[in-house]
Amino acid sequence: MRYLLLLLCCSLLPLSVHGQNKPAYQLFNAKGKKVKYGKMLKKMTKQDIILFGEYHNNAITHWLQLELTRDLGQVGPLVLGAEMFEADNQEPLDQYLTGEIDAKGLDTLARLWSNYKTDYAPLVNLAKDRKWPFIATNIPRRYASMVSQEGFSVLDSLTTLEKSWIAPLPIAYDPELPGYKGMIEMMGGHGGETFPMAQASKDATMAHFILRGFQAGRRFIHYNGAYHSDNFEGILWYLQRERPDLAYATITTVTQSDLSHLGKENLNRADFILVVDEDMTPTY
């Protein structure tokens, strides 16, 4: 009898409780129109280079990166690259991809991020299984730190070997780009003019190694912090400067409390905007 009463009570609950949809994410195009994953995927099959901007601690972003990479891999072979690997770690990364060293060896020889095992190892292992190149694109952190303190001129003192791990000198730089100007504003004017130069040294170096690793007929997917490619600046500015003939697409990540529409502040941030519920638990 109690069981029948429970079923009756449950059946009388408001439909809004049972029918409430709780999506974890929503995709939009640059103009704020909702798009389905399949439409974004189709668009990506027509690109030469894709910049996938992430929040480093967002599980949804990392999941979608892996799904998109797998699906594009069904269309044709890829080249992968990531901010999370610095250029001087290319050798141990290659050794891991070819099976010369194991995961422990890579962890010993390369400077891996603390969330590598959960967030980036799946992408690296996918490249290993498919025999795709994986390019370490970022400037070694120590040199970016030097630029932050002293400006681009400090890079002139590096050895020939050290210079091979960064973009060719002199590094082009436009301090009037909104992203770089915004960094100074965000710091309240502290950090000086050299602070955004460090960001530019990363953007330029990542663009340099993306283009060096690019292979005609293979899509290149690059994973980087959203700020490095938001608003069609950063890495993309350097890529288009060197190779305006290639087809580029950008994806970025933002968080919002309401996934039903794209906030005005996020319009035109990228070709596709991945909006994740702001209540999503960060991974660290």
pLDDT digits (tens, 9 = 90+) for 133-144: 999 999 999 999
Task: For 209-253, write each residue's pLDDT tens digit.
Answer: 999 999 999 999 999 999 999 999 999 999 999 999 999 999 999
Quick one: pLDDT at residue 18?
46
- 276-281 long-range contacts (CB < 8 A, ≥24 apart) are 276/24, 276/25, 276/55, 276/58, 276/60, 276/61, 277/23, 277/24, 277/25, 280/24, 280/58, 280/59, 280/60, 280/255, 281/59
Residues 80 and 125 sit within 8 Å (Cβ to Cβ) = no
The predicted model gives 247-264 an average pLDDT of 97
Quick one: pLDDT at residue 16?
45
- In a domain, residue 4? The reply is no
Q: What is the CATH number of the domain that holds 42?
A: 3.40.50.11550
pTM of the model: 0.92
The CA-based angle 205-206-212, given to 5 degrees, is 90
Determine the Cα–Cα distance for residues 123 and 62; give it in Å rounded to an integer: 9
Quick one: pLDDT at residue 1?
46
Q: Are strands 25-29 and 272-277 parallel, antiparallel or unpaired?
A: antiparallel
Quick one: pLDDT at residue 5?
42
208 phi, psi to nearest 5 deg:
-60, -45
- What does pLDDT average to over the chain? 93
Quote the tokens at residue 159.
């050895």
- In a domain, residue 3? The reply is no
A 10 A CB-CB count for 24 gives: 13
pLDDT-derived band of residue 189, with 50, 70 and 90 as boundaries? low
- In a domain, residue 21? The reply is no
- In a domain, residue 135? The reply is yes
Residues 214 and 248 sit within 8 Å (Cβ to Cβ) = no
- In a domain, residue 46? The reply is yes
Q: Minimum mean pLDDT among 56-60, 63-67, 76-80, 183-187: which range? A: 183-187
Determine the Cα–Cα distance for residues 92 and 98; give it in Å rounded to an integer: 10
- In a domain, residue 284? The reply is no
**Residue type at 222?**
H
- Whether the predicted pLDDT of 187 surpasses 90: no
Domain coverage including residue 202: 27-277
Number of domains within the chain: 1
- In a domain, residue 2? The reply is no
Quick one: pLDDT at residue 184?
84
Distance of CA 271 to the CA centre of its chain: 14
Quick one: pLDDT at residue 15?
44
Quick one: pLDDT at residue 190?
61
- In a domain, residue 267? The reply is yes
Report CA dihedral (125, 214, 198, 256) to the nearest 10 degrees. Answer: -60
- Whether the predicted pLDDT of 11 surpasses 70: no
Quick one: pLDDT at residue 21?
78
Quick one: 206 exposed, middle or buried, by C-beta within 10 A (0-12, 13-18, 19+)?
buried
